[in-house]
């Protein structure tokens, strides 16, 4: 069992129709048919949306995505129309709300990996492959790959795992031409972002994107290159052979699986509330990622 520990009630705003409550984002449709995406401060781990929020997290995700959208615009267009608050929206939505074009979303999570970590590491240890991509012997936890690889997944519902699949499976589902475009675009965006992050002292180990179609054109949507969708490591601390320190919610995962939490991940019981110090430390890691990447102070 997994999902929301306590599912929030959607905020009701005149003129907006609530469509969906996700792990982090709430989706609405406005009177013009555009999507209104609101990034909450919710956080998830081990397929659970936790009872605590991480203050400012939704704003960091939104502002960092906007920063990245500008830097990849020559590779792929994005779905953002406006950052202005819809009339009647609560003040708390400021800085975390995007008015976006409605896309015909492609049912594929587009993942690029430049380093061995996470589910890719688990598969490699068994078969020396990641999503069917053969890799050389001798790689370890955190090793840099010979070159970036595309490892797609099928998106799961809240509380379920995304399913890693071979590239051929995506071609079967969406067609060979679109599958090839997804792979090419994903690797192009990853390579651009990897180089930008490297110049700022960060390693972009892996990342995932979501794409949709608008009048037949591929458009990138949702969030991009944030600590929620990407694994960023400090370059000066990189050392293959063990887990790397990261600018994401690894602090939360570590606490949940520690004896201090008292939670059995394999049970059907929901996870407990996070201690204040874990919340504060996680918030700071998100802000650190924003400041290191953009070179701007968080405010």
- Extract the tokens encoding 271: 């996870």
Q: How high is the pLDDT of residue 174? A: 95
Q: Report the pLDDT averaged over residues 225-243.
A: 96
Neighbours of 32 (CB within 10 A): 9
Question: Lowest-pLDDT range, 52-66, 145-159, 189-203?
Answer: 145-159
What is the predicted pLDDT for the residue at 1? 46
* Helix ranges (DSSP H) in 235-275: 250-256
Q: What is the pLDDT of residue 2?
A: 63
Asked if pLDDT for residue 159 goes beyond 60, the answer is no
Q: In degrees rounded to 5, what are phi and psi of residue 270? A: -70, 155
Please choose, from the candidates 44, 20, 8, the residue with its C-alpha nearest in 3D space to the C-alpha of residue 270. Answer: 44
Kindly indicate the confidence band of residue 101, based on its pLDDT and cuts at 50, 70 and 90.
Answer: very high
What is the per-residue pLDDT across 248-285, written as a single tens digit (0 to 9) for each? 888 999 999 999 999 999 888 999 999 999 999 999 99
- Here the tokens at position 289 are 């990622």
pLDDT tens profile 162-180? 788 899 999 999 999 999 9
pLDDT at 3: 87
How many distinct helices (H) and strands (E) make up the chain?
6, 18
Secondary structure letter of residue 102 according to DSSP: -
State residue 6's pLDDT score. 85
pLDDT in tens, 49-97: 999 999 999 999 999 999 999 999 999 999 999 999 999 999 999 999 9
- From edge to edge, which strands make up the β-sheet containing 80-82? 17-21, 25-29, 35-39, 97-100, 80-82
pLDDT score recorded for residue 140: 97
Instruction: Return the structure tokens found at 168.
Output: 């051929």
Q: Would you state the pLDDT for residue 156?
A: 63
| DSSP-derived 3-state class of residue 122 | helix
Residue 104: φ, ψ to 5°: -85, 95
């Amino acid at each position: 069992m997994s999902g929301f520990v306590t599912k929030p009630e959607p905020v009701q705003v005149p003129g907006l129709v609530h469509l969906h409550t996700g792990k982090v984002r709430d989706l609405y449709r406005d009177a013009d048919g555009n999507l209104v995406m609101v990034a909450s401060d919710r956080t998830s781990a081990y397929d659970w949306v936790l009872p605590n929020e991480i203050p400012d997290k939704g704003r960091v995700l939104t502002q960092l995505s906007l920063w990245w959208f500008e830097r990849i615009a020559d590779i792929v267009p994005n779905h953002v129309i406006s950052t202005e608050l819809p009339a009647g929206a609560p003040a708390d939505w400021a800085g975390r709300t995007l008015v976006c074009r409605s896309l015909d979303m492609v049912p594929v999570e587009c993942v690029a990996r430049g380093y061995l970590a996470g589910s890719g590491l688990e598969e490699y240890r068994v078969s020396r492959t990641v999503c069917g991509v053969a890799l050389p012997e001798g790689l370890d936890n955190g090793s840099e790959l010979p070159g970036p690889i595309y490892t797609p997944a099928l998106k799961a519902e809240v509380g379920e795992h995304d399913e890693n699949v071979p590239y051929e499976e995506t071609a079967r589902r969406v067609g060979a031409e679109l599958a090839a475009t997804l792979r090419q675009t994903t690797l192009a965006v990853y390579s651009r972002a990897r180089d930008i992050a490297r110049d700022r002292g960060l390693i972009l180990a892996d990342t995932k994107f979501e794409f949709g179609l608008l009048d037949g054109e591929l458009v990138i949507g949702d969030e991009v290159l944030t600590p929620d969708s990407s694994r960023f490591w400090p370059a000066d601390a990189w050392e293959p052979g063990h887990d790397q320190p990261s600018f994401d919610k690894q602090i939360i995962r570590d606490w949940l699986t520690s004896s201090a939490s008292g939670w059995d991940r394999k049970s059907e019981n929901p996870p407990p509330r996070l201690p204040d110090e874990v919340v504060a430390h996680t918030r700071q890691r998100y802000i650190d990622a924003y400041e290191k990447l953009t070179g701007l102070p968080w405010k």
